[in-house]
Amino acid sequence: MVFPFKSIEDFTIDLNQDHELLREAIREFSETKISQFVEKGEKERDLPKELKEEAKNIGLYGLDVPTEYGGQGGDYLSLLVASEEISRIWTSFSTFFLIQWMVNRALLKYGNSDLKKKLKETATGEKIGAFANTEPDAGSDVAGMKSTAKRINDHYVINARKIFITNGDFADYYLITARTSPSEPNARWKGISMFLVEKENVKVLSRIETTGLKASHTAEISLEDVKVPAENLVGEEGQGFKYAVESFDYARTIVSAQALGIGQSAFEKLSNYSLQRKSFDKKIAEFQLVQQKISESLADLETARLLTYWAGTLYKKEKMNEYIMIASLAKFHSTESAEKIILRAMTAHGGYGVSVSTGLERLLRDIQILKTYEGTNDIQRISAARQFYYRFMGVKI
């Protein structure tokens, strides 16, 4: 009955009253504070400084960082709750925190004592982080990167070019991956290391115009013969590929939670409009095809929510074999479910569905990016299947 899991207890979702209190607080913050800046922020393609400062007051920057490092001491599920609620109002803003949390996690898990001092700065929002892994010719193929880092005495000299870097044009700290030794033919992932580089050493080449997440900053950056102290090596030399992949695993279900927020927003627009709009002297909610949109959207939304928080629970319990598979399922299912709900809402709105005023077109644009970043949906399908065969069937595909 529970195949491929060992016990029915593996299907539990570990949400409690603390998570509900957090959800209520984030929803109030989102509806009273964030909502005021969405229209202006999207037009100006920026996240207001005032809003970023407000977020410090409720501890968003270091939500899952231990209190000893300036964080709130929350768990992984807290990130999912916060991401869903923020994304319900403005996904560009939740993406800003997604990257901050990735940087926090890498510094917390792999950083030495010097780097953990910088964690105290990112966990409080004093400093902003960026995670720079993707290159012009190396996206899903992380091991195909060409950036290099050469050890010379007590420092490394880094030459790198990175693209599609969120927060990339204004971050204070960048986590940069680069090759410290040549790749091996049968183990291309070997020889990659991770470094923390400060902003004065990073050249911003351009800000990239994207279809969605208009207020989120996406940039192309480069490092040219940049000297970085050896103590800025994150973890061990040659383990950067592992650290990057684990960071993406961490981020993946947060993206699923973002998609939940988008899907929830679209569903609310659909259901509310169906009760407000009349046609042929009836509320359109009385028409069976509209009812079909409601029931199918509700099924998509709640199955996505269950998958997402189930994945989050597995992560919290450190059941990583199960988590990696379910996180991949949650990522492609949640993002694609949200897209379906948006499209149903747009058709139910008729002509108004294609107007900017409903906010649906922004949701549709935003969800396209969520389907791509932190591991494309195509890659997630492959990842889930391979993880299933290898970890639960004993067959390496």
Is residue 236 classed as helix, strand or coil in its secondary structure?
coil
pLDDT one-digit tens code per residue, 54-87: 999 999 999 999 999 999 999 999 999 999 999 9
Question: Which pLDDT score is estimated for 5?
Answer: 77
Question: Which pLDDT score is estimated for 186?
Answer: 73
Question: Which pLDDT score is estimated for 210?
Answer: 95
Residue linked to tokens 């279900």: 253
pLDDT one-digit tens code per residue, 246-281: 999 999 999 999 999 999 999 999 999 999 999 999
Q: How buried is residue 136: exposed, middle or buried, by Cβ count under 10 Å (0-12/13-18/19+)?
A: exposed
Question: Which pLDDT score is estimated for 1?
Answer: 42
Mean pLDDT of 283-295: 96
Residue linked to tokens 């379910």: 326
Average pLDDT along the chain = 95
Reported as a pLDDT band with limits 50, 70 and 90, residue 99 is: very high
pLDDT one-digit tens code per residue, 105-153: 999 999 999 999 999 999 999 999 999 999 998 777 777 889 999 999 9
Catalytic residue among 42, 84, 220, 374: 374
Report the sign of the C-alpha dihedral through residues 314, 315, 316, 317, in that order. positive
Q: Provide the b/e sequence for 331-368 (b: ≥16 CB within 10 Å).
A: bbbbbbbbbbbbbbbbebbeeebeeeebbbbbbbbbbe
Question: Which pLDDT score is estimated for 393?
Answer: 87
Question: Which pLDDT score is estimated for 11?
Answer: 87
Question: Which pLDDT score is estimated for 233?
Answer: 98
Contact, 327 vs 256, CB < 8 A?
Answer: yes
pLDDT one-digit tens code per residue, 18-57: 999 999 999 999 999 999 999 999 999 999 999 999 999 9
Against a cut of 0.75, is the pTM above it? Answer: yes
Is residue 131 classed as helix, strand or coil in its secondary structure?
strand
CB neighbourhood size of 50 (10 A): 11
Contact, 165 vs 176, CB < 8 A?
Answer: no
What percent of the chain stands above pLDDT 70? 99
Angle of helix 377-387 relative to helix 320-348, nearest 10 degrees? 140
How far, CA to CA in Å, does 278 sit from each of 3, 164, 239, 358? 48, 44, 61, 17
pLDDT one-digit tens code per residue, 174-194: 999 999 988 776 777 789 999
Question: Does the pLDDT value for residue 4 go beyond 80?
Answer: no
pLDDT one-digit tens code per residue, 201-215: 999 999 999 999 999
What percent of the chain stands above pLDDT 90? 89
Question: Which pLDDT score is estimated for 367?
Answer: 98
Could you confirm whether 374 is annotated as catalytic?
A: yes
Reported as a pLDDT band with limits 50, 70 and 90, residue 2 is: low
DSSP string covering 161-220: EEEEEETTTT-SEEEEEEESSPPBTTBTTTTEEEEEEEGGG-EEEEEPP-SS-TTS-EEE
List, in order of start, the domains of the chain with CATH numbers: 8-126 (1.10.540.10), 130-241 (2.40.110.10), 242-393 (1.20.140.10)
